Amino acid sequence: MTNTNLFHVHTFRCGHAENVPDTAYIERAIELGASDIWFSDHAPFPGDPFRNRMKFDDLHEYLDTLLSLQEKYADRIQIHIGLEIEYLPRFARIDYYQLLTQLPDPIFLILGQHMAEVDASSDGYSFSMDKEWRKEHEYKALGSAIVSGIQSGYFDFVAHPDRIFYRCQNWTENMETVAKEIILAAEQMEIPLEQNESSKKHKHQYWQEFWDLAEGHVQIVQGLDAHAVNELRIV
């Protein structure tokens, strides 16, 4: 992927991005001289059980709108249509990820693991656990979910894999073990890992130690994780 690609761009539908039309991102991308823009808003889950993502009823509007814009701007910029979503086994069991991969248009899926199932037999998620558990165990649960997601074969990219360590203060052997498991899975499945520009702006979300381990083993792509037009830039 060349550096004229603007990869990993969200839209207003997720509820925590700038409330502007999709064309605002596209026009700005053209101004920047970008060859491609990759929209990957937070995908919904059936029943809308989680916050900070588009509503399930908005999914087809999102796809239809971008398909129309893809055609409209075809001679000026290439628009890629995708979704960012967590891997949660209970939704895999109802074939939800398979459904997403079969949507019209060659859609791409980014694995963005912001939460994980804690107990597959219950409705427990990592975000519902107490502070001490999250500090000690959350990154392990998220790392395990990333590995499972990679091995599922549904995903084309992994977003900000090092962000799972955001509660950690210093790099440890346990963190390195989890990092190596993610990198090995990505290497075996030939799935690129994303160095996330947004993570670099926040303490403990970007870990150079992770990327030193990944270098030479996997393809690394640069992602913006843009939630506002002014966050678009060539990197």
- In the chain, domain spans: 5-231
* Averaged pLDDT score across all residues of the chain: 95
- H or E segment at 193? strand 193-196
| More confident call, 2 vs 9 | 9
Q: Say if residues 189 and 154 touch (Cβ distance below 8 Å).
A: no
CA–CA dist 232, 122 (Å, integer): 40
Reported as half-sphere exposure (CB side, CA atoms, 13 A), residue 211 has a value of 16
For residue range 201-234, list pLDDT tens digits in order. Answer: 999 999 999 999 999 999 999 999 999 999 999 9
Q: What is the pLDDT of residue 57?
A: 97
Angle 227-229-231 from CA coordinates, rounded to 5°: 65
What mean pLDDT do residues 100-110 have?
86
Q: What is the pLDDT of residue 120?
A: 57
Q: What is the pLDDT of residue 124?
A: 87
For residue range 183-208, list pLDDT tens digits in order. Answer: 999 999 999 999 999 999 999 999 99
Beta bridge partners, 5, equal: 36
235, pLDDT greater than 80: yes
CA–CA dist 29, 34 (Å, integer): 5
Reported as half-sphere exposure (CB side, CA atoms, 13 A), residue 57 has a value of 0
For residue range 65-99, list pLDDT tens digits in order. Answer: 999 999 999 999 999 999 999 999 999 999 999 99
3, pLDDT greater than 90: no
For residue range 113-142, list pLDDT tens digits in order. Answer: 999 998 755 568 999 899 999 999 999 999
Question: Which residues contact residue 144 at a Cβ distance below 8 angstroms, ignoring those fewer than 6 apart?
Answer: 116, 181
Would the pTM of this model clear 0.85, i.e. be above it? yes
For residue range 140-170, list pLDDT tens digits in order. Answer: 999 999 999 999 999 999 999 999 999 999 9
Question: 5-231: what CATH class?
Answer: alpha beta
Angle 96-89-178 from CA coordinates, rounded to 5°: 130
DSSP-assigned states of every residue in 127-183: GGS-HHHHHHHHHHHHHHHHHHHHHHT--SEE--GGGGGTT-SS--HHHHHHHHHHH
